[in-house]
Structure 1
Amino acid sequence: MSLLVVGLSHRSAPVSVLERAALPADAQVKLLQDTVAAEPASEAAVLATCNRIELYADVDKFHAGVAELSTLLAQHSGVGLEELTPYLYVHYEDRAVHHLLSVACGLDSMVVGEGQILGQIKDALATAQELHTAGRLLNDLFQQALRVGKRAHSETGIDRAGQSLVTFGLEQLTEGAPVAEWAAGKRALVIGAGSMSSLAAATLARVGVAEIVVANRTRARAERLVEILSEAGTGLSARVAEMESVAVELTRVDVVVSCTGATGLVLSSEAVAAAVASGARPVDSEVPNLRAPDGSLVARLAAAAARSGRLPDAGYVADAPGVDSLELHGTWAGNGAVLDTPATGLDSASTCPAPAAVPTRSAPGGPAAHSGSSGRQTTPRAVVPTQYAPTKLALLDLAMPRDIDAAVHRIDGVRLVDIESLAEASADAPMAADVDQVRTIVADEVAAFGAAQRAAHITPTVVALRTMAADVVQSELARLRGRLPDLDERQQAEMTQTVRRVVDKLLHAPTVRVKQLAGEPGGAGYADALRTLFDLDPQTVASVSRADSNNNEDTDARNRGRA
């Protein structure tokens, strides 16, 4: 069996296709079930985020596996296979491992180094484990991806290669002005109360807005976020608004940040036009003096997001006054938080970082390569500001699918930054040195994973060999006791120990060496050689493999219980 991944992401597909192909939770469950029911696949896991949909499987046939996985993705995404195929990429065996580890390190993210992907990988593994679609290979792979992602964040400055997605979006709204000066004293509406929205609220509070209004479908979550904001004691005004009153709130605020899990539009162009026409206060008007960012508030918001969801790209926390480092669920946040706490009660869309970036100079015109790099990583480049009418309402849409009607950009006095404009702003910039360091880590870990898998592949055969040897020893000892009935118990025990010691010594060196050789490239053939040389029963080998897989599942279940 071999690892195969078929998927699409912001590297291969335009935003319009990603939006239509987005998989809700129930569709992901059905996709996993249908995949393992298909002939080529024995294991399956789905990684579905704001800017990627990837189906991982352990298959016994490459071409049949690609065809089956592509068809299943098309069926469950609702995008026809003929339309979807040009945007799909395929990675196989070591290239598939390399791809997932790169994704886990944030190398394939729109903002390089963002850490929220680790939580999404953990969620993908948990779902596959709960549905029993993840076996030994995918369990090992996804656990390795989580470890490598954490290592990249702790050993390198990959967090510095990118920046907070909310901060990046706000920088695009300011058209070159310092964010703190631009935001000071403004009134902001945050739509959504997931981890990304919590990050938005923390960022807005940090840069000095005077008021934050939180609207969310679940009022209790909005109230909790407002409670944290209000308890900080900084004079920041924070309150909850019902989703039904968002249109009214638009007339009272200067800035809107929206990141919900809604499948339809949250803000229509008509609602925005009406708010602007009613006289929303221009964001260019005089504002109070800038107040210093409050480190305590940022720390509390970060900790709250760690408890309730995942706080991505929180490197700014380390720079806040009074916050030297934060321990968030056991993960050091002094150089950018890397959280992997599952988001309770959140769907993938409500916990996503900024949605997809679309390459603007190398848009795909055909099928993506089946191997190789997913696309070179970039850091944000400067964007020449476009001339706009005086801005009355600034909108930042970080949702996938989009929350805000793209047509609002035609309304005078409205400034919209959405996933496509963020993609344009982040394209074609030079590489950071930290990215190269992470690439080296990924390459080393891919080699280590391959060696471990090859060694693990031969383990059932070695166990079967030792089992066969033990059976032979027992049979011969029984025959010997029948021929020498006068031996007392001490003599029989000495005879048994001697025979077993001889067999163990004969098997020790070759079995240790064959495990070492199996870990090297091309070492998979040693298992076949052992089975042939010793005429091992394939059913015995298979039963050992199944027992090992069941032990792994029991361990995973215990680990989930402790979590």
Structure 2
Amino acid sequence: MSVLVVGMSHKSAPIDVLEHASLDVDAAVKLSHLALETPFVTESVVISTCNRVEIYVEAERFHGAVEEVSRLLAEQSGLDRDEFVRHVYVHFDEAAVAHLFGVASGMDSMILGESQILGQVREALHSAQAESTVGSALNALFQQALRIGKRGHAETGIDRLAPSIVTAGLDAAGPVVDGADTRFLVAGAGTMASLAVRTLIDRGVEPHRIMVANRTYQRAYALVATFGVSAVRWQALDVELSAADVLISCTGASGVVFDRDRIADAAGGRPMSVIDLALPRDVDPAVRELEGIDLIDLVVLSEAAANAELAADVRQVQTIVESEVRTFLAAKAASHITPTVIALRTMATDIVAAEQARIESRLPNLTDDERADVRKALHRVAEKLIHAPTVRVQQLIDGPADLTYADALADLFALDQSAVDAVTRVGESS
């Protein structure tokens, strides 16, 4: 059994492709269940965020699983095969483990080191647990990834660029965000919207200057109860938009919510900062053409992130990830070896019992003491033969990757190398 990940992210695909590929909660759950219906797949977890969609599976066979899982992801994304193949990536076993650990630590994020991804990985695992699509293998992998993500943030300064995409967006908007009279409109009431409101309040924005609008008013009102902000019904969105200095949009809609004309009418020629954190995009990119309108979307944020200089912290996190990958794989290998060692000992015990029965049947006149001596001799021989392999197999877990089968046998049974060489020379001379 091996772990496999198939996905695409801001690193492999442009934003407009990711818009098509992104999955809402229901679609992610559906994909996870569909994966379990395919041959060779026993567990699945789907991570779907504003800049990545990935499905992790525990698979019995690589080729069969990657074919089926890729097909399902392509169908769910709505992309044609050529477009999908051009932007998808596949990681298997060690590479898949390293990829997830890198994702959880913020190393693969659009905003390098952002901590929001850690919560998104946790939500993906919780969803898989609730849907019973995850088992012991992926559960252990994801739990370790979460621990590594926390460790990376605790031990390095990787997140000093921006703790989240929300913070990066607000920073990019400039001084207007910290203005004493700036009015904010948050469109949406999901996880990203909640994070936006919390971040604004943490920056010192007074709750009465934050308005939340959502198609489902009850969800918007939940933020009122939590943070003390104000809420408006979706039907009154344009009225509040006309009074806002900063729009933060993260609705989760399937298409454009704020087109060029809508923003132009609301701004009426005055300056406005528009922060679009949604994927698919909530705001038409043509809004950028309007005079006085500063549009900050995921394209802008990814360009800003590409210029970040966190070389020392990146190397430190990479070292942590590489070390944790080795530790995780060694523990996984050990868990597979233990049953093998038990089976080896069981086989030896069975052979001893069979040989003892054969000897006693052929030599019925043996005394009890003689039978005991035979039994002890057989056990000693078996124990000496399997002692070295059961000890050395644990040491070989971290052995060289190029170890041959012959090398392994010689090492497992602690064979005298001079004896092996002598046999080799005889074989070659003949």
Q: Which residue of 2 aligns with 1:197?
A: 193
Structure 1 residues 154, 105: CA separation in 2 closer, same or farther (over 3 Å shift)? same
Give the Cα–Cα distance (whole angstroms) in 1 for the partners of residues 290 and 176 of structure 2: 25
CA-CA distance at 1:9 after TM superposition: 0.4
User: Is 1:44 equivalent to 2:34 in the alignment?
Assistant: no
Give the Cα–Cα distance (whole angstroms) in 2 for the partners of residues 54 and 443 of structure 1: 21
CA-CA distance at 1:218 after TM superposition: 3.9
Structure 1 residues 64, 135: CA separation in 2 closer, same or farther (over 3 Å shift)? same
State the SS of the aligned residue for 1:28: helix
Q: State whether residues 395 and 414 of structure 1, in contact with CA within 8 Å, keep that contact through their aligned partners in structure 2.
A: yes
User: Is 1:405 equivalent to 2:401 in the alignment?
Assistant: no
Structure 1 residues 57, 524: CA separation in 2 closer, same or farther (over 3 Å shift)? farther
Q: Which residue of 2 aligns with 1:223?
A: 221
CA-CA distance at 1:13 after TM superposition: 0.5
What letter matches 1:247 in structure 2?
D
Q: For 1:492-514, what per-residue CA distance to the aligned partner results, in whole angstroms no more than 9, with x for missing partners? A: xxx99999999778755532321
CA-CA distance at 1:63 after TM superposition: 4.5
C-alpha RMSD of matched pairs (Å): 3.8
CA-CA distance at 1:103 after TM superposition: 0.7
Give the Cα–Cα distance (whole angstroms) in 2 for the partners of residues 121 and 204 of structure 1: 24
Q: For 1:47-97, what per-residue CA distance to the aligned partner results, in whole angstroms no more than 9, with x for missing partners? A: 221111122234455455444332222112111111111111222332222
Structure 1 residues 159, 425: CA separation in 2 closer, same or farther (over 3 Å shift)? closer
Give runs of aligned pairs for residues 280-299 of structure 1, distance below 5 A: none
Q: Which residue of 2 aligns with 1:261?
A: 252
Q: Which residue of 1 aligns with 2:230?
A: 239
Structure 1 residues 178, 501: CA separation in 2 closer, same or farther (over 3 Å shift)? farther
Q: State whether residues 333 and 397 of structure 2, in contact with CA within 8 Å, keep that contact through their aligned partners in structure 1.
A: yes
Q: Which residue of 2 aligns with 1:314?
A: none
Q: State whether residues 115 and 163 of structure 2, in contact with CA within 8 Å, keep that contact through their aligned partners in structure 1.
A: no
CA-CA distance at 1:119 after TM superposition: 2.4
Give the Cα–Cα distance (whole angstroms) in 1 for the partners of residues 127 and 204 of structure 2: 37
Question: Quick check: 265-274 or 393-402, which moved more?
Answer: 265-274
Q: Which residue of 2 aligns with 1:144?
A: 144
Q: Which residue of 1 aligns with 2:319?
A: 440
What letter matches 2:334 in structure 1?
A
Query: What runs of 5+ residues in structure 2 fail to find an aligned partner?
Result: 369-373, 413-430
Give the Cα–Cα distance (whole angstroms) in 1 for the partners of residues 68 and 81 of structure 2: 11
User: Is 1:87 equivalent to 2:87 in the alignment?
Assistant: yes
What letter matches 1:512 in structure 2?
V
Q: Which residue of 1 aligns with 2:171?
A: 171
Q: Which residue of 2 aligns with 1:430?
A: 309
Q: Which residue of 2 aligns with 1:513?
A: 392
User: Is 1:214 equivalent to 2:212 in the alignment?
Assistant: yes
Q: State whether residues 258 and 399 of structure 1, in contact with CA within 8 Å, keep that contact through their aligned partners in structure 2.
A: yes
What letter matches 2:180 in structure 1?
A
Give the Cα–Cα distance (whole angstroms) in 1 for the partners of residues 338 and 132 of structure 2: 23
Q: Which residue of 1 aligns with 2:103?
A: 103
Q: State whether residues 190 and 197 of structure 1, in contact with CA within 8 Å, keep that contact through their aligned partners in structure 2.
A: yes
What letter matches 2:197 in structure 1?
A
Query: What runs of 5+ residues in structure 1 fail to find an aligned partner?
Result: 231-237, 278-388, 488-494, 534-563
Give the Cα–Cα distance (whole angstroms) in 2 for the partners of residues 3 and 507 of structure 1: 31
What letter matches 1:243 in structure 2?
W
CA-CA distance at 1:2 after TM superposition: 3.5
Larger Cα-atom Rg? 2
Give runs of aligned pairs for residues 153-552 of structure 1, distance below 5 A: 153-174=153-174, 177=175, 179-180=177-178, 183-205=179-201, 206-208=203-205, 211-230=209-228, 238-277=229-268, 391=271, 393-469=272-348, 507=386, 510-522=389-401
TM-score, scaled to structure 1: 0.62
Structure 1 residues 136, 202: CA separation in 2 closer, same or farther (over 3 Å shift)? closer
Q: Which has the higher helix share?
A: 2
CA-CA distance at 1:35 after TM superposition: 2.9
Structure 1 residues 134, 505: CA separation in 2 closer, same or farther (over 3 Å shift)? farther
Identity %: 49
Structure 1 residues 501, 262: CA separation in 2 closer, same or farther (over 3 Å shift)? farther
Q: State whether residues 517 and 523 of structure 1, in contact with CA within 8 Å, keep that contact through their aligned partners in structure 2.
A: no
Structure 1 residues 497, 127: CA separation in 2 closer, same or farther (over 3 Å shift)? farther
Structure 1 residues 162, 414: CA separation in 2 closer, same or farther (over 3 Å shift)? closer
Q: For 1:167-217, what per-residue CA distance to the aligned partner results, in whole angstroms no more than 9, with x for missing partners? A: 32123223xx4753xx22111111223333233223333244561112234
Give the Cα–Cα distance (whole angstroms) in 1 for the partners of residues 327 and 72 of structure 2: 31
Q: For 1:306-342, what per-residue CA distance to the aligned partner results, in whole angstroms no more than 9, with x for missing partners? A: xxxxxxxxxxxxxxxxxxxxxxxxxxxxxxxxxxxxx
Q: Which residue of 2 aligns with 1:56?
A: 56
Give the Cα–Cα distance (whole angstroms) in 1 for the partners of residues 346 and 302 of structure 2: 58
CA-CA distance at 1:20 after TM superposition: 0.5
Give the Cα–Cα distance (whole angstroms) in 2 for the partners of residues 434 and 498 of structure 1: 61
CA-CA distance at 1:398 after TM superposition: 0.9
Q: For 1:216-262, what per-residue CA distance to the aligned partner results, in whole angstroms no more than 9, with x for missing partners? A: 344344334223443xxxxxxx3211122111111222221122222
Give the Cα–Cα distance (whole angstroms) in 1 for the partners of residues 350 and 74 of structure 2: 51
CA-CA distance at 1:441 after TM superposition: 0.5
Q: Which residue of 2 aligns with 1:551?
A: none
State the SS of the aligned residue for 2:341: helix
Give the Cα–Cα distance (whole angstroms) in 1 for the partners of residues 307 and 273 of structure 2: 26
State the SS of the aligned residue for 1:48: strand
What letter matches 1:432 in structure 2?
A
Structure 1 residues 116, 85: CA separation in 2 closer, same or farther (over 3 Å shift)? same
CA-CA distance at 1:519 after TM superposition: 4.1
Question: Quick check: 431-440 or 36-45, which moved more?
Answer: 36-45
Give the Cα–Cα distance (whole angstroms) in 2 for the partners of residues 510 and 458 of structure 1: 11
CA-CA distance at 1:520 after TM superposition: 2.9
Q: Which residue of 2 aligns with 1:492?
A: none
Q: For 1:106-162, what per-residue CA distance to the aligned partner results, in whole angstroms no more than 9, with x for missing partners? A: 001111111222222223333444555444442332222112112111222222143
Q: For 1:476-526, what per-residue CA distance to the aligned partner results, in whole angstroms no more than 9, with x for missing partners? A: 899999989x99xxxxxxx99999999778755532321332343449988
Give runs of aligned pairs for residues 115-154 of structure 1, distance below 5 A: 115-154=115-154
Q: State whether residues 251 and 276 of structure 1, in contact with CA within 8 Å, keep that contact through their aligned partners in structure 2.
A: yes
Give the Cα–Cα distance (whole angstroms) in 2 for the partners of residues 139 and 498 of structure 1: 46
The number of aligned residues is 405
TM-score, scaled to structure 2: 0.80
Q: State whether residues 173 and 294 of structure 2, in contact with CA within 8 Å, keep that contact through their aligned partners in structure 1.
A: yes
Give the Cα–Cα distance (whole angstroms) in 2 for the partners of residues 160 and 241 of structure 1: 34
